[in-house]
Amino acid sequence: MKHTIINREFRDYAAESMYPFTDTALLVNAQGVVIQPEVFLDALIYSMNDVEQPFYLSDLKGTIGDADEMGVVIKDDNNKEICSGVITESEDNCYLYDSYDRVNGTLVYDSSHMSQLIRRVGILDYEFSKTQTPFLAERGYVTRTSGLSVIEAESNIFSKDVYIVGAGGVHFTEEAGEVYVHLLGEESLTKRPIKTINGLDLRHVWLAAHPESAVKVETLSNSLKLWKITDAD
């Protein structure tokens, strides 16, 4: 099944930055194979297995697929393989699958620039280290849990209340007998200016975005603009 990413404006913004890799990514391996920033435009990797962030692109495999295709492998911080997929230059994205053939992510890329990379790789396999091609932390998700993850009633009878507690931006509300789950990011903007930072009221504040974050800080003539590249339009 063919899938298409339709937000063309986002592609323009992504092509001008290191996104979806960190700002400190080298994008070149020991053999001199360079991944231009314009090649990969977006990435989303998620795993139900016991893996550790950050994730990184570990292999480009010219030995997989036809002449217009190339294999790609994603690993975690402990060099454990998370998922892999086959990139086709005639398309603009590919799904990534784990060892159980479950979808574990998606890569979005520019077809013309990807074609050049596929030609560069040829029929060989190339490896990258986690310092060369690390993805932004927010481009990866690990769904494992250390506590209760499932409540199964089946034939059991619970005589007491079952409490579900939200954390990390998740909270619950009740309206007309219906319970709603609210996730981080769903609340409306307050549009209130920043008065203090960590309780400190200072006249001069220096802000900088972490290189592993998609958040950007832009200095304007009379203000600061904080934005995420994923929200650009």
Mean pLDDT of 20-26: 92
Question: Which residue, 25, 43, 111, is CA-closest to 82?
Answer: 43
Domain ranges, residue 62 = 8-142
Burial pattern 167-204, b for ≥16 Cβ within 10 A else e, equals eeeeeeeeeeeeeeeeeeeeeeeeeeeeeeeeeeeeee
| Total of domains in the chain | 1
Domain membership of residue 91 (yes or no) is: yes
**How far is residue 37's CA from residue 154's CA, in Å, rounded to a whole number?**
51
93 versus 184: the higher-pLDDT residue is 93
pTM for the full predicted model: 0.61
Range from 9-23, 73-87, 172-186 carrying the lowest mean pLDDT:
9-23
Between residues 18 and 125, the one the model is more confident about:
125
pLDDT of residue 173: 80
| Residue 33: closest CA among 67, 83, 78, 70 | 70
Closest C-alpha among 150, 139, 136, 138 to residue 211: 136
Six-digit token string for 13: 């913004």
Q: How confident is the model at residue 186 (pLDDT cuts 50, 70, 90)?
A: very low
Q: What is the pLDDT of residues 134-179, one digit of tens each?
A: 999 889 988 765 544 445 556 565 555 666 677 666 778 888 887 7
55 located within any domain: yes
